[in-house]
Amino acid sequence: MSPTTRVIAIVIVVAMLLAGAGVTVAAVFTSGGSGQTGSGDARRAPAPTTTPAPGAQRPPSPALAPYYRQRIDWQPCGEVEECATLTVPLDYRRPGGDTIGIAVLRVPAADPSERLGSLVVNPGGPGAPGTSYAAGGTGVFTQPVLDHYDVVGFDPRGTGASEPVDCLSDEDLDTFLAQDPDPDTAGEADDLVSGIETFFQGCVDRSGPIVGHVSTVETARDVDVLRSALGESALDYLGASYGTKLGATYADLFPARVGRMVLDGAVDVSLSSRELSLGQAAGFETALRAYVEDCIGADDCPLGESLDEGLQRIKDFLVEVDGEPLAGMGDRELTEGRAFYGMILPLYVRDYWDLLTQAFEAAFDGDGSILLRLSDAYASRDVDGSYVDNSAEAIYAINCLDDPYAVTADQVPAQVPAFERASPTLGRAFAWSLVSCDGIQVSASEPAPDITAAGAAPILVVGTTRDPATPYVWAQALADQLASGVLLTRDGDGHTGYNSGNDCVDSVVEGYLVDGTVPEDDTTC
Residue 159: predicted pLDDT: 96
CA distance linking residue 434 with residue 409, whole number of Å: 9
Does the residue 518 lie in any domain? yes
- Rounded Cα gap, residues 107 and 163, in angstroms: 22
Whether residue 301 is contained in a domain is answered as: yes
Confidence of residue 16 (pLDDT cuts 50, 70, 90): very low
Kindly tell me if the per-residue pLDDT of 424 is higher than 90: yes
423 pLDDT higher than 50: yes
What sign for the dihedral angle of Cα 250, 252, 256, 262? positive
pLDDT score at 327 = 85
Please report which confidence band the pLDDT of residue 473 belongs to, taking 50, 70 and 90 as the band edges.
very high
The residue from 162, 222, 380, 495 that is catalytic is 495
The predicted pLDDT at position 48 comes to 66
Asked whether residue 237 falls in the same domain as residue 319, the answer is no
Report the alpha-carbon angle 173-179-182, nearest 5: 145
The confidence score (pLDDT) of residue 172 equals 94
Amino acid 85 reads T
Evaluate whether 455 touches 256 at the Cβ level (below 8 Å): yes
pLDDT of the residue at 46: 58
Alpha-carbon Rg for the chain, nearest whole angstrom, is: 22
- Strand, coil or helix: what is 118? strand
Q: Using the predicted structure, report yes or no on whether residue 108 has a pLDDT greater than 80.
A: yes
Indicate if 118 and 230 belong to the same structural domain.
yes
Q: Find the length of the chain.
A: 525
Of the residues 132, 228, 233, 241, only one is catalytic, namely 241
Q: How far apart are CA 185 and CA 69, in angstroms?
A: 57
Same domain, 202 and 241: no
The whole-number average pLDDT for the span 103-131 is: 94
Residue 512 has pLDDT above 70, yes or no: yes
Q: Is the pLDDT of residue 62 over 90?
A: yes
Are 183 and 100 contained in the same domain? no
Residue 3 is predicted with a pLDDT of 36
Same domain, residue pair 285 and 367: yes
Q: Is pLDDT of 38 > 60?
A: no
pLDDT at 293 over 90: yes
* 321 and 229 co-located in one domain: no
Rounded to 10 degrees, what is the CA torsion of 290, 294, 295, 299? 170
Question: Residue 100 above 60 pLDDT?
Answer: yes
Establish if 442 belongs to a structural domain. no
**What DSSP letter does each residue of 391-450 carry, written as one string?**
HHHHHHHHHHHH------GGGHHHHHHHHHHH-TTTHHHHHHGGGTTTT-----SSPPP-
Instruction: Assign 3-state DSSP to the chain and report helix, strand, coil percentages, each to 5.
Output: 45, 15, 40
Q: Mean per-residue pLDDT for 464-493? A: 95
Question: Do the domain assignments include residue 423?
Answer: no
Q: Is the pLDDT of residue 40 over 60?
A: no
The rounded distance, in Å, linking the Cα atoms of 231 and 158 is 25
Query: Any idea which of 135-139, 301-305, 356-360 has the lowest mean pLDDT?
Result: 135-139
Claim to verify: residue 383 and residue 473 sit in the same structural domain = no
**How many domains in the chain?**
2
Closest CA to 462 of 516, 402, 510: 510
| Structural domain for 205, as ranges | 165-210+271-403
Q: What is the pLDDT of residue 41?
A: 41
- Mean pLDDT on 296-310: 92
Asked if the bond preceding 126 is cis, omega within 30° of 0, the reply is yes
Mean local confidence (pLDDT), 91-111: 96
Smallest CA-to-CA distance from 465 within 487, 436, 433 is with 487
Q: Is 241 a catalytic residue?
A: yes
Lateral strand order in the sheet of 99-107: 75-76, 82-89, 99-107, 149-154, 117-122, 235-240, 258-264, 459-466, 485-493, 523-524
Residues 185 and 238 in one domain: no
**pLDDT mean over 47-51:** 68
pTM of structure? 0.91
Average confidence (pLDDT) over 344-370: 93
Report pLDDT for 47: 62
142 and 170: one domain?
A: no
Tell me the three state secondary structure of residue 62.
Answer: helix
* Residue 213 is a catalytic residue: no
Residue of 155, 467, 493, 506 marked catalytic: 467
Whether residue 204 contacts residue 442, with contact meaning beta carbons closer than 8 Å, is answered with yes
Among 112-116, 182-186, 370-374, 506-510, whose mean pLDDT is lowest?
A: 182-186
Q: What is the mean pLDDT of residues 81-107?
A: 96
Same domain (yes/no): 369, 479:
no
Domain co-membership, 282 together with 341: yes
User: Tens digits of per-residue pLDDT, 214-232?
Assistant: 999 999 999 999 999 999 9
Q: For all residues of the chain together, what is the average pLDDT?
A: 88
Picking from 38-52, 56-70, 272-286, 369-383, which range would have the lowest pLDDT averaged per residue?
Answer: 38-52
Amino acid 45: pLDDT: 52
Neighbours of 420 (CB within 10 A): 17
Identify the three-state secondary structure at position 489. strand
Residues 261 and 185 in one domain: no
pLDDT of residue 30: 26
CA torsion, points 369, 189, 170, 438, in degrees to nearest 10? 140
Distance CA 21, CA 372 (A): 11
Q: What is the mean pLDDT of residues 357-379?
A: 93
In the annotation, is 148 catalytic? no
State the CATH number of the domain containing residue 252.
Answer: 3.40.50.1820
Q: Terminus-to-terminus CA distance in the chain, angstroms?
A: 32
